[in-house]
Chain A
Amino acid sequence: MQTAVSQTSPPKKSFLYDPKVRGAFYQVVLVAAIIFLFYIAATNAIDNLQRAKIASGFGFLNNTAGFDISQTLIRFSAAGGTYGDAFIVGLLNTLVVSAIGIFFTTFLGFLIGIARLSKNWMVAKVAMVYVETLRNIPLLVQLLFWYIAVLGALPQPRNSLEMGAGFYLNARGLFMARPLWGTNIGLLVAALVIGLVGTFIYRRWAKQQQEQTGRQYPVGKVTLALVLGLPILTWIILALIGANPITFELPRKGTFNLTGGMQVLPEFVALLLGLVTYTAAFIAEVVRAGILAVSKGQTEAAGSLGLTPGQTLRLVVIPQAMRVIIPPLTSQYLNLTKNSSLAVAIGYPDLVQVFMGTVLNQTGQAIEVVVITMGVYLTISLLTSFIMNVYNRRVAIVER
C-alpha cells in the first residue's frame, strides 16, 4: 500500500553552502594570511639585519662575554666566560630565586589563607587587610619599595647590624655562615636516606595494620623522629667523637668590610621579599577558596563519626581541599617564576637581566636572544602544566 510519504530527494544545493567547503575555505585564507605575515616579517628582518651588519645564528653563544655577573652559582669570569655560560648563570639565578621563593611563599600563603578563616575576628581582619593591600599594588612598585626604601636604608658595612648566630645585615646584603662539608658528610646523608626508607616502610606497615585491626599507630611522630631525629643524632654523635661533618665559616668583621662567610646580595633579598609577600596574598585566596569549597556536611559527618577536630582537618577537609587548591596553586608558582623576571628593574642578575639585557645589548642579536629566553619560560610553563594535567587526572573525582 502506498503511503503519502513523498520520496523526493532534497533540493540540489550549491556546494558553496556545504559547511565543509566553507570551513576549508576559511582555513586556507587563515593559513595564507599567516604565511604572508611571516614571509613579510622574515624578509624585512633579513634585510634589516644585513643593513645593520648584525650576524645571525647561534654562534655567538661561544663568544667571550667580557662582563661580570654579581651572583654566579657556577664558575664564571669576564675573561673566560662565554655568552652561553652567561645564559646558564642567569637561568640558574632565576631558578634559585624561584625555588626559594616558592618554598617561603607556600608557608606564608597557607598561614594567611587559614588566618583569613580564623574564628578570631582580629586575626581574620588583619589577614584580609594584608591580602587586599598586597594584591592591589603592582609588584614592580613593591620591589622598588623593598629595594630602595627598605634595603637602601641599611647601614654601611662598618656599622653592620649584628643579628646573632653569624648573621650580619648591611647595605651590601645579608652575610651568614658558610657551611663547609667535612669528610664524614656521607654518613649524614646515609642517615637521612635510612630515615626516609624507614619511614616509608613504617607507613606501609601502619596502614596495613590499621586496615586489618583498626588500631592506629603514631605515624607523624615516628616520621619526624626518623627523618629529622636520625640525621641530627648522627651529627651529634659524630661531633662528640670529634669527626664533625659540617663546620661553619663565620663572616669576620673587618674595618671596612666583612670577609668570609656567605653573602646574599641585597637585590636577591629585595626580590625574594617582594615575590614572597606578593604571591602569598594570592596563595592565601586560593587556600581560602579551597577550604571553603569543602562543604560543611563533610565536617559534620566527620564529627558525627567521632573524629576529633584535628583528625577532621587532617583526614577529611585537607585532602578534599587540596584537590581544589593544587591547580591554582601551581599557576601561582608559575606566576612567581615569571614575575622573577622583574629582577631586571632592581638589577638582580636573573635570566632576563643577564641575557635579554646585557647579552642582547652587546650582540644585538635580538631574534636569537628573545627566542631562547622565551623558550626557557615556555618550557617551564608547559612542563608544569603537563605534570599538573597528569596529577589532575589522578586526583579527579571518578564520575560515571
Chain B
Amino acid sequence: MSTAVDFPHFVRANQVEALPPPNLARGPIAWIRENLFSGVWNTLLTLVVFYLLYISVPPLLKFLVIDAVWTGTDRAACRADTGGSEAGACWAFIWDKLNYFIYGSYTISERWRVNIFFALLAIGVVWLLWLKAPRRDLGAVYFFWVFPVVSYILLTGGNESFSGRFWIGFLIFGALVISLFAFLAALLKTSIRPALILGGGIVAVIGITLALVDLDFGLAHVPTSLWGGVLVTLLVATVGIVVSLPFGIVLALGRRSKLPIVRMASVIFIEFVRGVPLITVLIMANTMLPLFLPGDMTVDRLLRPLIGTALFASAYMAEVVRGGLQAMPKGQYEGAMSLGLNYPQMMSLIILPQALRIVIPGIVNTFIGLFKDTSLVAIVGIFDLVKTIEASRIDPAWAAPTIGITGYAFAALFYFVFCFSMSRYSLGVERRLAAGQKR
C-alpha cells in the first residue's frame, strides 16, 4: 500500500547546510560590512554608487563653492577671460541683485512695508502651524481677516477714497442684510436677537474692512506693476492658501452634501479644475476674465493670476478636506444629530475641528504644491522670483556664461528651503497624529 504522492518538487531530499553563526561583531567596520559590502551584489552596488558620486559631487562642489566668485561689481569678476582662471558660480551677481530678487521694482523708500508684510506673514504661519500655540482660534481670525486687510493696506498704500455715494450704498446694503436676517428669524419663529447679532456682525466685518481700506494712513501708493520677486511669490502663495482653505472646505462640504444639485455643482467644479493644467487656468484668467466684466471695468494684471491660482488650489484643497470628512466615523455625525445640533452647528463644532486636524499633513502638502506652482505665474508675465531672475540674467552688465546657472541655482535653493522645511513639518505632524492611534 502506497500513500506516497508523487510530489517531487515540494520535498527536500537531502539535508541543508547549517547557516554560519550570526555575526556578533559591532562597531563601524561591522556596520560597513553589514550595510555596504554584505555580498558580491551589494559590494558592486556600493561601488557603482561611489563612482556616480565621484563623477557628480566634486564638480558640483567645485562649481558652486570652490571656484565660485563671491565678490564683484559687474561681469568682469565672473568671466573666465577677465576674472581669472576657471570661473564657477557667480554669487556676486546674486548679491548685487538680491534686493531686486526680493522686492522687484518696489519703491525703494517704501520697502520697509514689504518687510513688515513678511514679518506679519511669519507670525500668522507660526501661530497657525505650531500646534501648541495659544489661542489658535484668534490666530485663524488674524490669518484670514486681519492679516489680509493689513497687508493690502501696507502693500498698496490703502487710501482707496470711496465716494460718498458708495458709503450710502453700503449703508442701504447693510440695512437690507440685517432686516433680511430679522425677517427670516420672524418667519421661523425663533428669537430675533441672535439673528440680529449675526447679520450685524457680517455687516460690521465688511464695513470695518472697507473703512480701513478707505482711510488715509499717509502711505504712498505703490502700483502692483512695480511689485516683484520673493514678494510676489509669497503673495501668490499666501492669497492661494487664504482663499483656498475656506473655499475648499465649502466645496468639500458641497461634494458630501445630500442635495443633488449642490453636489453636482461641486463635483463639476472640482473635477474640471483638477483635469486641466494650471497654466491653462492662468492663461484663461489672463485672457477671459477681462472679457467677462463690463467694458469699463479692468482687472489688475496681478489680480488675474491670483484669482486663477486661488481657484486652482481650492479644488485640490477640497479633495484633501473631503478625505478628512470621509475619515470621520459615522457615529460622530449621529452623535451630533442626536444632541439636536443643526447642520452648521454639527459641522463647525463637531466634524470640521476633527476632520481638519487629521488632514493638516494633506493641507501642508497641497500648500507645498501650490508654492511650487506659483512659479508658473512667470509664464503669464508676472514678475515673481523666477521672472526677476529671467530678467536679470540678460542684463548686459552681468553678461557671463555662468550667470544663468547661478540664477537658477539660487531659485532652486530658495524653493528647496521652503518646501523641504514644510514637508518636514508635515511629516512631524503626521507622526504626532499617528501617535494617538498606536497601541
Contact = CB atoms under 8 A, between A and B. Distances in A.
Contact of B9 (A119, A126, A137, A215): A215
Given A123-B49, A352-B279, A214 B292 contact: no
B419 A121 contact: no
A128 B49 CA distance: 13
A138 B272 contact: no
Interface string B194-215: 0000000000000000000000
Contacts of A339: 277
Interface residues of B, number: 63
B40 interface: no
Interface in A130-158: 132-133, 135-142, 144-145, 148-149, 152-153
B280 A370 contact: yes
B376 A370 contact: no
Interface stretch (A1-9, A259-267, A371-379): A371-379
A378 B46 CA distance: 45
Nearest to B422: A136
14 contacts: A27-B260, A47-B295, A49-B291, A120-B49, A122-B45, A122-B50, A135-B419, A136-B423, A148-B405, A216-B9, A342-B376, A360-B283, A370-B283, A378-B275
Given A14-B188, A216-B9, 14 more contacts: A31-B261, A44-B293, A51-B295, A120-B36, A120-B45, A121-B35, A122-B35, A122-B46, A123-B45, A136-B372, A141-B375, A144-B390, A381-B275, A382-B275
A119 B294 contact: no
A41 B292 CA distance: 4
A387 to B, nearest CB: 14
Interface of B: 7, 9-10, 35-36, 38, 42, 45-46, 49-50, 52-53, 187-189, 258-262, 265, 271-272, 274-280, 283-284, 287-288, 290-295, 368, 372-373, 375-376, 378-379, 386, 390, 393, 401, 404-405, 408-409, 411-412, 415-416, 419-420, 423
Nearest to B401: A153
B388 to A, nearest CB: 13
Contacts of B272: 374, 378
Contacts of A118: 45
Interface residues of A, number: 63
Given A120-B46, A148-B404, A378-B272, A352 B420 contact: no
Interface string A328-355: 0000000000110110110000001000
A138 B386 CA distance: 10
A30 B379 contact: no
A367 interface: yes
A45 interface: yes
A367 B379 contact: no
A143 to B, nearest CB: 10
Most buried by B among A49, A51, A216, A378: A378
Most buried by B among A31, A122, A377: A122
B96 to A, nearest CB: 19
A202 B280 CA distance: 49
B89 to A, nearest CB: 11
Most buried by A among B7, B9, B189, B404: B404
A48 interface: yes
Given A370-B287, A382-B275, A141 B36 contact: no
A141 B415 contact: yes
A24 B258 CA distance: 11
Contacts of A381: 271, 274-276
Interface string A3-44: 000000000001011000001001100110010000011001
Interface in A50-92: 51
Given A148-B404, A149-B408, A133 B416 contact: yes
A187 interface: no
A16 B368 CA distance: 45
A286 interface: no
Contacts of B35: 119-122
A149 B405 contact: yes
| Interface of chain A, main secondary structure | helix
Contacts of A345: 378-379
A280 interface: no
Q: Which 10 A-B pairs have the closest CB atoms?
A: A381-B275, A136-B419, A149-B405, A121-B35, A366-B287, A338-B277, A41-B292, A138-B372, A341-B277, A138-B375
A306 interface: yes
A356 to B, nearest CB: 5
Interface in A303-318: 306
Contacts of A367: 288, 291
Nearest to B43: A120
Contact of A26 (B259, B287, B376, B401): B259
Contacts of B386: 138, 140-141, 144
A49 B45 CA distance: 64
Most buried by B among A132, A135, A149, A381: A149
A129 B50 CA distance: 14
Given A41-B292, A370-B287, A377-B280, A136 B416 contact: yes
Interface string A217-251: 00000000000000000000000000000000000
Most buried by B among A14, A45, A136, A138: A138
Contacts of B290: 48
A352 B277 contact: yes
Contacts of B187: 16
B189 A370 contact: no
Contacts of A48: 290-291, 295
Given A44-B295, A214-B9, A339-B277, A152 B188 contact: no
A373 B7 CA distance: 63
Contacts of A338: 276-278
Contacts of A215: 9
A341 B278 CA distance: 9
Contact of A137 (B42, B53, B376, B412): B412
Contacts of B36: 120-122
A132 B420 contact: yes
B291 A344 contact: no
Contacts of B287: 360, 366, 370
A393 B125 CA distance: 42
